[in-house]
A = this chain, B = another copy of it.
């Protein structure tokens, strides 16, 4: 893992380089006469670095007089939040990569018309910088099975899945391709289905919904679990009733998969501290939904601990999926958002802030109404409030703002405040990492 978290694939470096080359070309365009009349306050493209650095969130560039460019308020995001990362993940080949880069929005001119990466002559060179990074990286697991590792877009402000090209390679290289889809079914699967599959043309044969005894108990609302604190001991006590109470959440995730015409399989990720009675509850929930299930023990057993699940998935794929997108391309953006809210999240209504309303209208007018929706919502709840558990209905989803990732090819409604550049903690992990006297790396796990 150590290597993978450093430079191994080079994807992150290439994305950083391409992203920042575009930024330099935007500012250089403004500096060199600004033929497109891009207002300094109208540049939407930001720079990225692959380091947690809160002080780069809000900066002023171009200081030091005319010779150093025009002053401008901007900032850095973390590399995974770059639209380039999403583009790399959604491009189907190098031509498609080039096309997506070309149409990428970098700002607006004084007439509020969009300025693209192509308009400032940045897309070609960015594509060249990314060409090699478009090839997936083939690794192997400890058991010798092949694993394609490729791209890492954020699942909150992007679609959060590994690359389409990686899937193309994988699906041609074996009998089954297993790919992961970020968070829960409301975030990960919904985006996988409606953004990634829409772009790739591939359709899933089955979908595994992973759950644990703990998460079921958590969703009962009877447990006090707080980020940063150790799990309460009570969580480990045998308590099948709490598992039952938390089942509504699991049923909803199953339902989201079914809504897209895909056959779900429940994976009960077992812990040594689980009780058999608790597994039984989950199994019964699955059965009551008419869904296959299996108990898995990957951490303690490795591959053999996954055999049951593999068989259940094999069966499920044989059943035959009938994959359906949640909404067609030509549905208005507002309706698409409301469809996701009601059919996936269980919301009763959507409230659009004035800015969001204005932006949606502008994006429709600019011809981006056909794009799918990539919702920026907390992954900790089916609602937009991270502390709400279970599977509530009738609540109101609030959309504060809507951004346009035209290159990646989706519209991004913000249902909450999204931080695109994390900060380091009081004791950053980096403090523990070093090279010892024998030249070995210590402190990475």
Q: Are B98 and A435 in contact (CB under 8 A)?
A: yes
Given A24-B52, A49-B20, A70-B41, A433-B128 contact (CB < 8 Å): yes
Among B17, B60, B425, B441, which residue has its beta carbon within 8 angstroms of that of A63? B60
B430 touches A21 (CB 8 A): yes
The 0/1 profile, CB within 8 Å of B marked 1, for residues 393-434 of chain A is 000000000000000000000000000000111101011111
Q: Identify which of B13, B32, B57, B66 contacts A7 (C-beta below 8 A).
A: B13
Docked pose: A23 CA to B119 CA in angstroms: 34
**Quick check: is A28 within 8 A (CB to CB) of the other chain?**
yes
Residues of B within 8 A of A338 (CB): none
A316 to B273, CA, bound (A): 77
* This protein's copies in its complex: 4
Query: Can you name 13 extra interface pairs (CB under 8 A) apart from A121-B428, A128-B444?
Result: A7-B129, A13-B13, A28-B53, A31-B54, A33-B426, A40-B71, A41-B71, A49-B49, A56-B61, A58-B68, A60-B60, A60-B71, A95-B435
Nearest first, the 8 closest Cβ-Cβ pairs linking A and B are A124-B434, A55-B69, A58-B64, A13-B13, A125-B430, A24-B53, A41-B66, A58-B63
Nearest B-chain residue to A442, judged by Cβ: B124
Interface residues of A, Cβ cutoff 8 Å to B: 6-7, 10, 13-14, 16-17, 20-21, 23-25, 27-28, 31-33, 39-42, 47, 49-73, 93-95, 98, 121-125, 127-129, 131-132, 423-426, 428, 430-435, 437, 439, 441, 443-444
Contacting A430 at CB < 8 Å: which of B47, B98, B121? B121
Closest to A102 in B: B434
CB distance B73 to A428 under 8 Å?
no
Distance, CA A13 to CA B51, complexed state (A): 13
Are A72 and B55 CB-contacts (below 8 A) given A25-B430, A28-B423, A41-B65?
yes
Inside 8 A of A31's CB, which chain B residues have their CB?
Answer: 54-55, 423
**Complex CA–CA separation, A59 to B71 (angstroms):** 9
Contact A68–B55 (Cβ < 8 Å)? yes
A428 touches B28 (CB 8 A): yes
22 contacts between A and B (CB under 8 A): A6-B128, A7-B132, A10-B13, A13-B17, A28-B423, A33-B426, A39-B66, A41-B70, A42-B66, A55-B62, A58-B62, A58-B63, A59-B60, A71-B71, A93-B439, A98-B434, A124-B430, A124-B431, A124-B443, A125-B434, A127-B435, A128-B444
